[in-house]
Structure 1
């Protein structure tokens, strides 16, 4: 089996966490093919308890049946070793080894802004969420949130109503609807948007999983907008992750007399951008006219070679990427000469721009 299969197996085994998988991958080295026996021996070398090794063995033997069952339920699995893995997530600390997806997985590669907030919003907070989420969607941006009650759910609904695109990141297994009252919203998201989870299908919600969920919400996004939040709120955890990941943080001001505004006012005091309209967000996101620019470009995808199309999908419009990073993403797919020639071609066609330090950005 390949390393991606090891990722899927290890992500399901109770007693194996992110750090253990990281150490496993480093110890496994370069070979892409690993037998079940080799996988189990590496786990033993890492000091993993024998009962946990037995769980990994059982999971390995049932993997093909599991993947077939997930596919029958519309669940797709993306690992760190797949081309479909979102580039933005590779830049964060402890990026998830596996993403379980249901819906339009292409949204993972699109520019996104996270919209989060309290589960107990005021009418003002709900109104502002609808206004800003719809405006972001109209600019061609994907709106990412956590499908929680309150601000999160309202952001998803506003985008779906405006026929925009939205991603929900869950703090439970991808087939576990939480909160239960969002069953209809969940169906709409899987039909017209995307639902994502790091946790294996069937995993029930647990308080410890939501901070992990929040790092993915911010990690998929160019920035995080907090609409309303109490002074101690899970939404502020998402904002903290966003700052740690070098992404933008935005906050909507509110009355100093309401509990729901204390967290956002504190964020503004700490340097988050105060948002009065969607323009306050857009001016902080370079190349935010990405969608319009692609539509107006005279060069179409049919004019590109396979290598140029591959590169264009991996050069982001908002964050420079180095040629070394591009080569690491290509693996053995493309040689350096092909990559370099294709980059020059795309630059001549006006689709990317070169920057100091051997970096490139999409126009």
Structure 2
């Protein structure tokens, strides 16, 4: 076995089983009964049928179908793409993932490996996230990455993308779990993000190469996200959001669940606000998360990516302070700022410029401005 995974010449039987039309829990049951993938593939139809609780003729069809799988082509493509393969029995298989009810039989991995097996936090939420939600995901991920916490998410649009980018901007490790094969980037616009993650973090999937991002794949992906993490933070989710499936897996496996509150009149906050009602911990800053994991870093310490910085709020005064306190995480037009505060145009422009230099405000298109950072 290689230090960072299995040798390709040894993984054929594992890949064959992983490509079979069976659920992970069924595959693990077979290996438990017969001892190894090789012995599963060599077992009699009768024995396979007995193990799976199916008739012998169905077992025959299943095993013959598995035996016909062209695993050599899969192995060749894995080698060409520089993908690492880690099987359930490898010493480098993540122990936190091995502890869940139905861990993946095989992990396809691009990027750095082994990846962190502890101190991982999942940040998930709506694909149709609001600007507020994306800002919160980015900000939380960036700050908590400074405490040595790796950010796990699904590389989907919206909250997932913002969380991955926040971790990268914070100089931290991020792990993207895909609901497709590693050769298929979904969504397509995240191709560059995936390259960035591979360069400094990890992208993983349990699905064989060529697997399309089908709807039924994402609950399976979500169980891996929860399994890799010590807790799951949800930022914006409708009542039927897939992010809530991730929290269900987290609870089933004894992981913490957190939720960032949202506007009570927004459908994208219905899921998160409901989680809070049901007992999820309300998050308004990073410390709300860290106090549940006191082993990570003393709460009176600054994250490593902020050490040496002063609390910039104490340096704000006059127009800058008034404008900063007026700004929100929803965009506000410069004319609204001028009108509502009653400050002359030039002074507002000067104040906004100062806040942008201090990285406390950000200008959007159309002379819209938002507050950039939160105060813990």
Alignment TM class, shorter chain as reference: 0.7 to 0.9
Find out whether 1:172 has 2:180 as its counterpart. Answer: yes
User: What is the aligned counterpart of 1:222 among 223, 230, 253?
Assistant: 230
Larger mean Cα displacement after TM superposition, 17-26 or 239-248? 17-26
- Secondary structure, counterpart of 2:179 in structure 1: coil
1:311 maps to what in 2? none
Q: How much is the aligned-residue C-alpha RMSD, in angstroms? A: 2.6
Find out whether 1:247 has 2:252 as its counterpart. Answer: no
Find out whether 1:11 has 2:21 as its counterpart. Answer: no
> By how many angstroms is 1:63 displaced?
3.5
Q: Deviations over 1:75-123 (max 9, x none)?
A: 1111110011101012211111111111112224242000001011111
TM-score normalised to structure 2 length? 0.71
1:57 maps to what in 2? 67
Work out the CA distance in 1 between the residues paired with 2:89 and 2:12. 10
Work out the CA distance in 1 between the residues paired with 2:172 and 2:290. 17
TM-score normalised to structure 1 length? 0.73
> By how many angstroms is 1:149 displaced?
0.3
- Secondary structure, counterpart of 1:106 in structure 2: coil
Work out the CA distance in 2 between the residues paired with 1:43 and 1:35. 8
Q: 1:265 to 1:35 in 2, by over 3 A?
A: closer
* 1:80-119 aligned within 5 A: 80-119=88-127
Structure 2: stretches of 5+ with no match in the other structure: 1-7, 305-376
- Secondary structure, counterpart of 2:128 in structure 1: coil
Q: 1:142 to 1:40 in 2, by over 3 A?
A: farther
> By how many angstroms is 1:38 displaced?
3.9
Contact 2:122 2:232 in 1 (8 A): yes
Work out the CA distance in 1 between the residues paired with 2:44 and 2:191. 39
1:341 maps to what in 2? none
1:22 maps to what in 2? 28
* 1:140-179 aligned within 5 A: 140-179=148-187
1:125 maps to what in 2? 133
> By how many angstroms is 1:26 displaced?
2.3
Aligned residue pairs total 288
Work out the CA distance in 1 between the residues paired with 2:203 and 2:44. 30
Q: 1:227 to 1:76 in 2, by over 3 A?
A: same
Contact 2:13 2:38 in 1 (8 A): no
Contact 2:96 2:118 in 1 (8 A): no
Work out the CA distance in 2 between the residues paired with 1:27 and 1:154. 43
Q: Deviations over 1:122-152 (max 9, x none)?
A: 1111111111000111111100000000000
Q: 1:130 to 1:11 in 2, by over 3 A?
A: same
* 1:1-363 aligned within 5 A: 5-13=12-20, 15-29=21-35, 34=39, 37-38=42-43, 42-43=47-48, 46=51, 47=56, 48-59=58-69, 62-64=70-72, 66-289=74-297
> By how many angstroms is 1:223 displaced?
0.1
